[in-house]
Amino acid sequence: MENNVTKVDFQEPTIYTVETKDAPKAIGPYVQGKVVNGMLYASGQIALDPVSGEMVGETIEDQTYQVLRNVGGLLNAVEADYDQVVKTTCFLKNMSDFTAFNQVYESFFDNEKPSRSCVGVANLPKDALVEVEIVAVVK
């Protein structure tokens, strides 16, 4: 079987930075997201309130809800929605929270499910229980 690979010559890349009040400000040397040639590459979101910058919730359900609201803020900033998310990477502090996390996560991706990785980690910024980063197609 022979591979058919076509080389695509891209024009000068279109790159812009996403900055919105609807998601928490970056807490380190990074930006909320970058759009490159119609794809949003969003930094990982934890359960920070976009206004106060404080952590929201003590349970995996509460934190997951806030994390995905923050993701929604980033999507809204680039006139996109959850159906346009093609890939998520999810980090859980405790893999025993996997089922509870999935119940909240699924409620945000009820039409189009993205591809996904979900891994357990030793720790997350601000002692968060969950972090989610996304890649989405935008206009």
Give the pLDDT confidence score for residue 139 in this predicted structure. Answer: 84
Return the structure tokens found at 3: 């591979």
One digit per residue, pLDDT tens: the chain, 139 residues?
A: 566 666 666 677 889 999 999 999 999 999 999 999 999 999 999 999 999 999 999 999 999 999 999 999 999 999 999 999 999 999 999 999 999 999 999 999 989 999 999 999 999 999 999 999 999 999 8
- Compute the half-sphere exposure of residue 60: CA atoms within 13 Å on the CB side of its CA: 18
Q: Which of 100, 118, 135, 138 is catalytic?
A: 118
CA 131 to chain centre: 8
User: Residue 12 has what pLDDT?
Assistant: 79
Q: Is the dihedral of CA 33, 10, 5, 83 positive or negative?
A: positive
Output the pLDDT for position 93.
Answer: 98
Query: For residue 68, what pLDDT is reported?
Result: 98
The dihedral over CA atoms of 71, 76, 80, 82, expressed in degrees to the nearest 10, equals 40
Q: Report, in angstroms and rounded to the nearest whole number, the Rg of the chain calculated over CA atoms.
A: 16
Active site residue 90: no
Q: pLDDT at position 9, please?
A: 66
Please give the Cα distance from 111 to 96 (Å, whole number): 26
